[in-house]
């Protein structure tokens, strides 16, 4: 983590373009000079050797093709098509705040939409790595600042006053008793040709909007049911569509015995065999479920049909990179932790609308890497890139799932095969069983110490392969991840090395990753490697402290080599009352993590007493309960403290789930989990009643990444608290993984029938 101190940068000018348009429009190039050097997602080895120059021809068409632009409209609003995906993390709100800040316009008058896939933006249309706000911060404010400057110039010219006499406030311009709204001047301020201009940005000390808590701009739509998700869109002719899927991951169809019969069922219009199943299209999703269940299909087994939890674990243990330092008996800590497969499924099932014609295609889906989706789907359909339009739809969560466009590609395949538009939704059961998973991994740690010092810290993280085939958002890098030489492993290793660190003075430190290439459908899950790697690390830190006879907090404080982590630790200790007397069977746990140029400390209290662990709940798991949590976050320059608090609360519930309850049990090539009463994400009965988030005042001049930052320390703190409450350090996560706490739904048909007794549970 950087040691960057808070100091006011020089008031340098930032460049942008006045774009020829009917009303005022300001563009900025999307290569951020101010911030990109510290981007979390690494730059790949230069890709020119594998990049077909023909692909570039259209991109260089105009010098401004890569611009993103802020527009001022005649109704006095400003609008911006964000080249990122909103999936709940709140970036649309933060970006609206940025524009409002520099434009002197109320946030409510800024409209943010999501941009379609724009290949000319190259690698810069990827939502991931908690990098959006960090990378947008300077360019978008620059565009807004230029827009304001141009409005001021226009008013000054019209009124015959110097620019310095014109002030702006709440979307209005004022000088010598005269006034106008931005809407009044939106046309007059427009450029008739595209020219480069520059402006200075407000100093952070002058912020009036950024840095103050702001509610989400889409909150009203969300609470009234008006927020429109993929399945809510009405595209002419795009009827509901679902898929009968195989009983093993990526199994394939051998024969369908009754396609014609199923096609004649009530409401059903089409049946088509596709890559991994049989698609049905009909008037309602309910009738699609009936139809897919009625299909009589023989299957070929998928590529991991012989794999189960135990076989994967054995393969991981065999692939571990050896530790270098010999074990030193009483003066070393040796530990090994297993982390089960986990699902990155959001609540909204994967869905996409596809309207594929003979010469064109239009796709709607929640896509965090839409350029990659567009290029891939164009290739799959055999269509030129410019004949494929890909719209990005706000998502009902992502957690890593929407880095991939599996569902959009499948919808396109189905639409092409049926020759009709489709609205495809995966069923909940599909989502858990055939959807992307976070890989199982094993983390082995050895630390040695002598005379009060830690001499070495070695961590060997071994994982089933995490697919990064979405690359950095674009075909060039996507291809690189598939190449045998510059292949996935080196890319994964790069990401591992660029995201992991040990923030303690532990002498010689090495952290290495090895991955085994099992063909599960994998992908990142919120915070990628960190939750598992940091949990292993923080548990070992507690073990070291115990062996060396020191309190966990005092020990961390003594070895920390990062001031920002020290500050959040101190604050958490104070606010969360570290060390207070706790009854037997309950305990506090504390953990630290720095990433995305931010720092977090989490202090939790857990209750592992039998009366709590065994409290009854219908169709769910209870187990230990985290009763209280204190989260202290240093977000660098916190732009929206209310949003940051929300993200920390979400990260906490993710961490609790990873530590205690949520995992996939893979058996004979498929996860057994098929519903939210099998996959135990944190529910109300497992969430702490007492949660306090402290957002520290600014410590730097740039915002840190936020959406994933709190997962790792939350997971680690809960694990440490559990170990202290029970007196036993757990070696397998989540702690309940060894017990199957549900009756698995049948594997065939792949989607269960909906119940009919819903009125019995009305309350």
423-452 residues in contact with other proteins (CB under 8 A) are: 425, 427-428
Of 194-223, binders to other proteins (CB under 8 A) are 215-216, 218-223
Of 602-621, binders to other proteins (CB under 8 A) are 619
Q: Which is nearer to other proteins, 391 or 428 (CB)?
A: 428
State how far the Cα of 612 lies from the Cα of 635, in Å rounded to an integer. Answer: 35
Q: Which is nearer to other proteins, 48 or 760 (CB)?
A: 760
Closest CB 163 distance from other proteins, rounded Å: 38
Out of 182, 299, 364, 399, the only residue in the binding site for other proteins (CB under 8 A) is 399
Contact between 248 and other proteins (CB under 8 A)? Answer: no
Contact between 650 and other proteins (CB under 8 A)? Answer: yes
Q: Which is nearer to other proteins, 345 or 590 (CB)?
A: 345
Out of 176, 198, 574, 754, the only residue in the binding site for other proteins (CB under 8 A) is 754
Q: Which is nearer to other proteins, 606 or 729 (CB)?
A: 606
Rounded to 5°, angle at Cα 326 from 323 and 331: 115
Closest CB 283 distance from other proteins, rounded Å: 7
Contact between 759 and other proteins (CB under 8 A)? Answer: yes
Contact between 651 and other proteins (CB under 8 A)? Answer: yes
Pairing mode of beta strands 277-282, 268-274 = antiparallel
Q: How many helices (H) and strands (E) does the chain have?
A: 18, 31
The values of phi and psi at residue 654, to 5°, are -65, -45
Residue pair 465/485 in contact by the 8 Å Cβ criterion: no
Count of CB atoms situated within 10 Å of the CB of 355: 21
Contact between 485 and other proteins (CB under 8 A)? Answer: no
Q: Which is nearer to other proteins, 242 or 533 (CB)?
A: 242
Q: Which is nearer to other proteins, 88 or 247 (CB)?
A: 88
Of 328-347, binders to other proteins (CB under 8 A) are 345-347
Out of 51, 174, 207, 676, the only residue in the binding site for other proteins (CB under 8 A) is 676
Out of 691, 701, 732, 744, the only residue in the binding site for other proteins (CB under 8 A) is 691
Contact between 228 and other proteins (CB under 8 A)? Answer: yes
Angle at which helices 711-726 and 641-656 pack, to 10 degrees?
40
State how far the Cα of 125 lies from the Cα of 158, in Å rounded to an integer. Answer: 39
Contact between 681 and other proteins (CB under 8 A)? Answer: yes
Contact between 641 and other proteins (CB under 8 A)? Answer: no
Q: Which is nearer to other proteins, 268 or 445 (CB)?
A: 268
The full length of the chain comes to 763
Contact between 744 and other proteins (CB under 8 A)? Answer: no
Positive or negative, the CA dihedral 653, 657, 659, 661 is: positive
Q: In the numeric block, which tokens belong to residue 591?
A: 């953990």
Q: Which helix (H) or strand (E) holds 441?
A: strand 441-450
Of 281-310, binders to other proteins (CB under 8 A) are 283-287, 289-290
Angle at which helices 563-575 and 552-559 pack, to 10 degrees?
160
Count of CB atoms situated within 10 Å of the CB of 763: 2
Residue pair 629/575 in contact by the 8 Å Cβ criterion: no
Radius of gyration for the chain, computed over Cα atoms and rounded to the nearest angstrom: 27
Q: In the numeric block, which tokens belong to residue 609?
A: 């007493």
Q: How many residues bind other proteins (CB under 8 A)?
A: 76
Q: Which is nearer to other proteins, 71 or 678 (CB)?
A: 678
Contact between 716 and other proteins (CB under 8 A)? Answer: no
Of 294-302, 494-502, 579-587, 686-694, the window that binds other proteins (rule: CB under 8 A) is 686-694
Residue pair 45/483 in contact by the 8 Å Cβ criterion: no
Of 39-47, 88-96, 452-460, 726-734, the window that binds other proteins (rule: CB under 8 A) is 88-96
Contact between 713 and other proteins (CB under 8 A)? Answer: no
The values of phi and psi at residue 273, to 5°, are -80, 130
The b-or-e profile of 739-760 (16+ CB within 10 A means b, else e) is eebbebbebebbbeeeeeeeee
Contact between 10 and other proteins (CB under 8 A)? Answer: no
Out of 683, 726, 732, 741, the only residue in the binding site for other proteins (CB under 8 A) is 683
Residue 699 per-residue DSSP state: -
Closest CB 672 distance from other proteins, rounded Å: 15
State how far the Cα of 663 lies from the Cα of 730, in Å rounded to an integer. Answer: 15
Q: Which is nearer to other proteins, 88 or 471 (CB)?
A: 88
From the list 411, 689, 721, 762, the residue with the least C-alpha distance to 538 is 721
Q: Which is nearer to other proteins, 86 or 634 (CB)?
A: 86
Contact between 264 and other proteins (CB under 8 A)? Answer: no
Q: Which residues contact 587 (CB under 8 A, 6 or more apart)?
A: 605, 606, 608, 721, 722, 724, 725
Of 229-237, 463-471, 472-480, 573-581, the window that binds other proteins (rule: CB under 8 A) is 229-237
Contact between 761 and other proteins (CB under 8 A)? Answer: yes
Closest CB 83 distance from other proteins, rounded Å: 19
Residue pair 242/425 in contact by the 8 Å Cβ criterion: yes
Out of 689, 727, 738, 740, the only residue in the binding site for other proteins (CB under 8 A) is 689
């Amino acid at each position: 983590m950087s040691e960057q101190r808070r100091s006011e940068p020089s008031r340098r000018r930032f460049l942008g373009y006045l774009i020829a348009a009917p009303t005022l429009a300001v563009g900025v190039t999307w290569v951020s000079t101010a911030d990109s050097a510290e981007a979390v997602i690494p730059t790949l080895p230069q890709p020119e050797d594998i990049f077909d120059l023909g692909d570039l021809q259209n991109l260089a068409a105009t010098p401004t093709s890569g611009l993103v632009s802020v527009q001022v409209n005649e109704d006095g609003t400003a609008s911006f098509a964000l080249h990122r995906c909103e999936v709940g993390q709140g970036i649309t709100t933060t970006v609206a705040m940025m524009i409002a800040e520099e434009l002197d316009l109320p946030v409510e008058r800024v409209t943010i939409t999501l941009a379609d896939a724009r290949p000319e933006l190259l690698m810069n249309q990827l939502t991931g790595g908690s990098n959006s706000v960090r990378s947008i911060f300077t360019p978008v404010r620059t565009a807004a600042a230029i827009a304001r400057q141009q409005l001021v110039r226009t008013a000054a010219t019209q009124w015959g006053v110097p620019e310095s006499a014109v002030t702006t406030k709440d979307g209005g311009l004022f000088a010598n008793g005269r006034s106008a709204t931005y809407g009044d001047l939106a046309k007059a301020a427009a450029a008739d040709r595209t020219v480069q201009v520059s402006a200075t940005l407000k100093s952070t000390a002058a912020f009036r909007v950024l840095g103050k808590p702001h509610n989400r701009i889409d909150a009203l739509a969300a609470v009234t049911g008006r927020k429109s998700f993929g399945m809510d869109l009405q595209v002419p002719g795009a009827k509901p569509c679902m898929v009968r899927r195989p009983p093993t991951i990526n199994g394939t169809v051998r024969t369908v015995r009754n396609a014609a019969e199923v096609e004649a069922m009530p409401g059903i219009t089409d049946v088509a065999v596709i890559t991994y199943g049989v698609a049905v299209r009909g008037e309602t999703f309910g009738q699609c479920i009936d139809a897919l269940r009625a299909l009589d299909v023989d299957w070929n087994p998928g590529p991991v049909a012989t794999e189960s939890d135990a076989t994967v674990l054995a393969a991981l243990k065999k692939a571990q990179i050896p530790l270098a330092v010999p074990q030193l008996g009483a003066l070393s800590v040796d530990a090994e932790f297993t982390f089960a497969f986990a699902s990155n499924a959001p609540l909204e099932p994967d869905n996409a609308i596809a309207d594929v014609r003979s010469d064109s295609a239009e796709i709607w889906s929640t896509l965090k890497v839409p350029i990659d989706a567009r290029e891939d789907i164009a290739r799959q359909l055999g269509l030129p890139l410019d004949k494929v339009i890909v719209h990005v739809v706000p998502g009902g969560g992502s957690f890593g799932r929407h880095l991939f466009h599996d569902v959009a590609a499948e919808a396109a395949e189905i639409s092409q095969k049926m020759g009709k538009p489709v609205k495809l939704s995966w069923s909940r059961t599909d989502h858990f069983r055939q959807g992307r998973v976070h890989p199982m991994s094993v983390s082995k740690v050895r630390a040695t110490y002598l005379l009060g010092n830690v001499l070495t810290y070695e961590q060997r993280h071994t994982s089933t392969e995490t697919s990064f085939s979405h690359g950095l958002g674009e075909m060039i890098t996507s291809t690189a991840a598939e190449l045998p030489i510059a292949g996935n492993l080196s890319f994964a290793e790069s990401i591992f090395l660029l995201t992991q660190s040990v923030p303690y003075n532990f002498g010689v430190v090495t952290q290495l990753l090895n991955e085994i290439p099992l063909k599960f459908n994998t992908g990142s899950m919120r915070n990628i490697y960190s939750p598992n790697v940091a949990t292993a690390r923080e548990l070992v830190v507690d073990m070291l402290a115990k062996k060396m006879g020191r309190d966990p907090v005092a020990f961390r404080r003594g070895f920390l080599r990062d001031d920002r982590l020290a500050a959040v630790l101190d604050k958490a200790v104070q606010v969360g009352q570290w060390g207070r007397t706790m009854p037997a069977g309950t305990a506090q746990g504390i953990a630290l993590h720095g990433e995305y140029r931010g720092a977090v400390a989490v202090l939790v209290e857990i209750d592992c007493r039998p009366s709590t662990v065994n409290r009854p709940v219908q169709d769910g798991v209870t187990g230990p309960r985290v009763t209280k949590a204190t989260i202290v976050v240093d977000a660098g320059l916190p732009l929206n403290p209310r949003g940051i608090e929300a993200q920390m609360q979400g990260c906490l519930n993710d961490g609790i789930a990873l530590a205690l309850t949520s995992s996939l049990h893979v058996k004979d090539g498929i996860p057994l989990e098929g519903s939210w009463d099998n996959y135990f994400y944190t529910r109300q009965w497992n969430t702490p009643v007492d949660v306090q988030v402290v957002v520290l005042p600014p410590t730097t001049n740039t915002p840190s990444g936020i959406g994933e930052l709190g997962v790792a320390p939350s997971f680690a703190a809960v694990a440490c608290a559990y170990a202290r409450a029970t007196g036993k350090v757990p070696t397998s996560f989540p702690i309940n993984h060894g017990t199957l706490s549900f009756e698995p739904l049948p594997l065939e048909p792949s989607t269960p029938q909906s119940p009919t007794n819903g009125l019995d549970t009305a309350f």
